[in-house]
Amino acid sequence: MKSFIKLLTFLLVAFFATGLYANEGKPLVLVMGEDSYPYQFVDEKGEPHGILIDMWKAWSQQTDTEVVFVSRHWHDSLKQLSQGDADAHVGLAQTSVRSEIFDFSRQISQVRTYLYLHKNLSDKLSFSDLLPYQIGIVSGSSHEVELLALEPKLSFKRYNSRHSLLKGVIEGEVHVFAGMEGYLKDNNLNRQVVSFFPIKNRLLIKESPLHPAVIKSDLKTVDKINLGFAAISSKRFAAIEERWLGINQQKRGITVATTLNIEPFVSLGGDGQPHGLYVDIWHLWSEKTGIPVFFSTGDMNSSLDEVRMGRADVHIGYPESDALNSGLQRSQLLYKVKSRLFSFGQSIDNLDTLDGTLIGAVPTAPYLGKLKQAVPNTKLKLYDSVASMIQAAREGHISSFVASSAWTQHYLVLNNAWSEFHQFDELEFETDIFVLTRPENVGLDKRIKAGFELIDQNELAEIEQKWMLNSKNRVFDVENSRLEFSLQQRDYLASVDVLRVGYLNNWKPMEYADSNGEFSGINSEVVKLISDKLNLKLESVVYDEWQDLITALLNGDVDIAGSVAETEERKKKLLFSDPYWPSPWALATPIDRVSVFNMQQLAGQRLAIVEGYQLVSDLMSADYGLELLIVADTRAGLKAVSEGKADAFVEKVINMAAELKQGDYGQLKMSVLADFSEQHSHFGIHPDKAKLVPMINMAIGTVNQQKQQEIYQNWVKQLPLTPKPTLAQTWWFFLCFLILATMMFLVLFKYRMGEEISKRLVLEDKLNHLANHDSLTQLPNRSLLDDRLEQAVLHHSRELSTFAVLFVNIGCLKEVNKKLGHKMGDNLLISITQGLKLSVRKSDTVARFGADEFVIILNRTKDLDIVCQVAETILTNLAKDPVGDIPAQDVKPSIGIAIYPADGDTAVELLKTADKLMYRAKKSGGNCYKSS
């Protein structure tokens, strides 16, 4: 009875809806967005398509009402409806603002909207983390309202259409954008977007119902729409969604059926879950598309039936061919399995030796015809499995067999039969393994293809290397694969006449000029790979100094340079590629010193570093308390440590190792810095070549770990192995030992002389300290101040950054000396010294300039406000505690502030300006500071 009532109700609604609109004659004008794939869009011919369009076509058939679709940019589609130039909108999310303008019918579909984050922002886990970034949105979309409800302080960059938004995304205009779930119509664009904005980096904004909309108060049209859609079955809605999305919205995932025990392709792991090459490829597909994947296992026949019966969506592992047709749709080529001939007992030199013998094979092999042609004078004997063929060969029933090389090798190793069988590499057959789906599931077929389009060869090669230990069994050729570019990218590449590459003359093994003056080294090979992938001509420009190279890159004299550190300061002036080479830092120290593994252990020591390295600025701005010695190159840095001019030298691991290997540095040792071990090299790129950056990153993406190792081997020769000692070498060792024992008395004799030398060295150190430091305060004196001031000018001019010079005068010192004696004046100076030191960082310099004058160098000051805060701190610290009978308020320090380069670009000019401003503060009564 209940079923009869439901059927009667349905027929009445359908009849009413049909009768209500059959004779109106006037078509219903529907406005739609033109590029919201796959919900509403127009194709290359201008024809409307999408989920909502098909639903409206079904509505049109159900109500016998003609509909006309009018496509517009999204913002214009809303405007056209609000002006009454259309009867309804095909579907949009309902917001409070839109509800003031439109009335909405009942929900006909739904969509999830996300914020897609650049791969470099993987640590951003909440909307508040995105406050520093502009979010790309389509003007007029619901994203802005929904996002502001979640985080009111977010900022936006608006685009007229989804196409222009995605174009801006690809060109790096925004690092965060809002969009719908699903995939893009343009596979190439889809791949590029996902490569920079991986699905795993997205944040869910909202799951939004989609409603048709009409102009406010047009309730008649709302009723008309609701009645028509109510008459359409839920199965038809689901079929439309599956056609476009590939999966049912309610299901939210696909099931993959497969057979087991085909290692290394698919097998059951210790956790009871499938593992293997095919499984990992599908996990990668899931990661790219955001669609969950579930696995169903069984034997070959039962797993195929799972797909045929609709209990699973796809099948993997069956050797589908024209001869062995499962009746399922070949949706996507998943892999090519290589099969070879295995002989028992002894290896074969050529196929003629098999004449007159029996060869085993499996009946499902698609290459049986080709095998017969290759060995016409043999007979084939078919077996149901590789295991049975191995047993037959052992028992002498067959001389050899042909099977999957990877599977067979895996089986032989596990069963301790590896040494019994020999592979013949010259006979090879490939079997195509397809992703199989039901023929009627067209939407899933498209979705599967679109997902695999997002996976590049490099990613597949990495998975293959994990499972395929024998390189001959691998099929993914990353090195020779072609990159796919959009039409605009191809046009841009064609417009680039030449790519100018800057490099250093002698920075082995990363880059250098060889004996013919040619660009060589690791960077040269990576650049050559990029130029080959992008089909660009190269012009290399050599520089002797790192700073000259960076300056040329900033000025646009070269377009690109390798091994450039990506820093916030440089990102304001340059663009950077993805990392392409590990670039940890190492220290060279004397062999008799304790090994150093972090910068904190070097506090107060002299550190040599190559001029122009970004690490110079990092060390100056950090609180390490180092005295930096700037050197020209790696060799000069190692020499400085060898000669005792520096306590340590910091350099890239690969460059230092190469130089230590080539030079005579037996007294030095190298240790990797733990706090700088995770750094990587990037290509620095001039902003004029901004459009090249995504394509350079695509080329860099083809450099996998194996390729890196090959490049490394090309340019860094292996150290020779230490040979085992011969008999002569053993006798020589004993002879040396006897000589050493004989000379021991000389060592004892010279011991006292060594003590004298040590005393002399200590004395020299003390004299050197006295020559450069004030004897009372132990602060750097005028001589050392001049040197540090010159160094500061050099460093900051190279980094295009600012620093400050503070000239401090103590107003009461002369009066204290006169009234209370010089001893009290000395105590005052010592107290002031401590106050000044407490007010600045360890990396800054406090020096005594004169009797009652001090000079402070503040490195890496971003603006005047920070310097003024330091000056305030100095005034506060010096006014804290009295010294003897001297009230703290009588100290009256006067401070003059000079900023580089605004107040002078030389040491002399900065001191003059600071001195002049100090006198202005003094004339104002002291206890204050003045700046220009």
Q: What are phi and psi of 206, to 5 degrees?
A: -170, 150
The two beta strands, 88-93 and 203-215, are: antiparallel
Residue 563 and residue 662 share a domain? no
Query: What is the per-residue pLDDT for 173?
Result: 87
Task: Tell me the CB-side half-sphere exposure of residue 487, using CA atoms within 13 A.
Answer: 1
- Residue 884 maps to a domain: yes
Residue indicated by tokens 């013949």 = 424
Give the three-state DSSP class for 609: strand
DSSP state of 35: E
Residue 421 contacts residue 344 (beta carbons within 8 Å): yes
Give the three-state DSSP class for 858: strand
Residue 623 and residue 491 share a domain? no
First to last CA, the chain: 94
Of 220, 245, 270, which one is at a domain's C-terminal end? 245
- Residue 171 maps to a domain: yes
Query: Judging by beta carbons within 10 Å of its beta carbon (0-12, 13-18, 19+), is residue 143 exposed, middle or buried?
Result: buried
Q: b/e map of 464-487 (b: 16 or more CB within 10 Å)?
A: bbebbeeeebbebebbeeeeebbe
Please give the Cα distance from 875 to 697 (Å, whole number): 52
The 3-state DSSP composition of the chain as helix, strand, coil percent (nearest 5) reads 45, 25, 30
Please give the Cα distance from 545 to 299 (Å, whole number): 66
Query: What is the per-residue pLDDT for 404?
Result: 92
Please give the Cα distance from 93 to 42 (Å, whole number): 20
Distances (CA, A) of 546 to 505, 609, 614, 706: 9, 12, 10, 30
The two beta strands, 400-404 and 358-361, are: parallel
- Please report the sign of the dihedral spanned by the C-alpha atoms of residue 97, residue 101, residue 105, residue 108: negative
Q: List CB contacts of 170: < 8 A, sequence separation 6 or more.
A: 189, 192, 193, 196, 486, 694
Q: How many helices (H) and strands (E) does the chain have?
A: 32, 41
Residue 38 contacts residue 51 (beta carbons within 8 Å): yes
- Residue 788 maps to a domain: yes
Q: What are phi and psi of 215, to 5 degrees?
A: -65, 150
Q: What tokens appear for 71 in the block?
A: 């496509």
- In total, how many domains does the chain have? 4
- Least Cα distance to 913 among 925, 926, 927, 931 occurs for 931
Q: What are phi and psi of 602, to 5 degrees?
A: -100, 10
Residue 592 and residue 576 share a domain? no
Please give the Cα distance from 237 to 52 (Å, whole number): 10
Residue 474 contacts residue 177 (beta carbons within 8 Å): no
Of 245, 272, 288, which one is at a domain's C-terminal end? 245
- Residue 51 maps to a domain: yes
Residue 589 and residue 512 share a domain? no
Write down the H helix ranges in 782-821: 782-799, 813-820
- Residue 535 maps to a domain: yes
Residue 612 and residue 699 share a domain? no
Task: Tell me the CB-side half-sphere exposure of residue 792, using CA atoms within 13 A.
Answer: 30
Residue 225 and residue 122 share a domain? yes
Q: Which H/E stretch holds residue 558? A: none
The torsion of the CA quartet 755, 757, 758, 763, rounded to 10 degrees, works out to 130
Residue 201 contacts residue 100 (beta carbons within 8 Å): no
Residue 131 contacts residue 154 (beta carbons within 8 Å): yes
Please give the Cα distance from 557 to 822 (Å, whole number): 61
- Residue 380 maps to a domain: no
Q: What average pLDDT values come out for the chain (932 residues) when binned by 10 residues? A: 48 46 70 89 89 94 93 90 93 91 94 89 88 90 89 91 86 88 68 82 89 94 94 89 70 84 84 87 89 87 88 89 85 92 90 92 90 93 91 93 91 82 92 91 85 84 83 76 79 91 88 90 90 91 89 93 82 88 83 73 84 73 76 88 89 80 79 68 91 89 75 62 46 55 54 54 60 82 85 82 92 79 83 90 89 90 87 86 67 91 87 91 89 85
- Least Cα distance to 676 among 582, 796, 563 occurs for 582
Query: What is the per-residue pLDDT for 19?
Result: 44
- Least Cα distance to 611 among 797, 738, 462 occurs for 797
Please give the Cα distance from 429 to 409 (Å, whole number): 16
Q: Tell me which amino acid residue 515 is.
A: S
Q: What tokens appear for 120 in the block?
A: 């470099």
- Least Cα distance to 585 among 644, 659, 633, 655 occurs for 655
Residue indicated by tokens 């039409």 = 487
- Residue 386 maps to a domain: no
DSSP state of 499: E
- Residue 211 maps to a domain: yes
Please give the Cα distance from 672 to 678 (Å, whole number): 11
Of 225, 245, 265, which one is at a domain's C-terminal end? 245
Please give the Cα distance from 137 to 347 (Å, whole number): 65
Residue 589 and residue 552 share a domain? no
Q: What tokens appear for 774 in the block?
A: 């004030």
pTM of the model: 0.53
Report the DSSP beta bridge partners of residue 180.
113
DSSP state of 724: P
Residue 700 and residue 641 share a domain? no
Q: Which H/E stretch holds residue 150? A: helix 143-150
Residue 708 contacts residue 479 (beta carbons within 8 Å): no
Q: What tokens appear for 666 in the block?
A: 């037996």
DSSP state of 276: S
The two beta strands, 40-42 and 35-36, are: antiparallel
Q: What are phi and psi of 921, to 5 degrees?
A: -65, -35
Q: List CB contacts of 28: < 8 A, sequence separation 6 or more.
A: 60, 65, 66, 67, 68, 87, 88
Residue 704 and residue 778 share a domain? no
Q: List CB contacts of 682: < 8 A, sequence separation 6 or more.
A: 563, 564, 565, 566, 576, 577, 578, 579, 580
Domain range for 667: 584-678
Report the DSSP beta bridge partners of residue 679.
none
Q: What are phi and psi of 226, to 5 degrees?
A: -60, -40
Give the three-state DSSP class for 433: strand
**272 Rama class: left (phi>0) / alpha (psi -120 to 50) / beta:** left
Residue 620 and residue 607 share a domain? yes
Write down the H helix ranges in 800-843: 813-820, 822-839
Write down the H helix ranges in 161-320: 162-170, 187-196, 219-230, 234-245, 277-289, 300-308
Please give the Cα distance from 614 to 599 (Å, whole number): 15
Nearest-Å Rg of the Cα atoms of the chain is 38
Please give the Cα distance from 341 to 37 (Å, whole number): 50
Residue 146 and residue 29 share a domain? yes
Residue 115 and residue 168 share a domain? yes
CATH code, 509: 3.40.190.10
Cis peptide before 887 (omega within 30 of 0): no
**903 Rama class: left (phi>0) / alpha (psi -120 to 50) / beta:** alpha
Query: What is the per-residue pLDDT for 218?
Result: 92
Q: What tokens appear for 874 in the block?
A: 């100095």
- Please report the sign of the dihedral spanned by the C-alpha atoms of residue 615, residue 620, residue 625, residue 630: positive
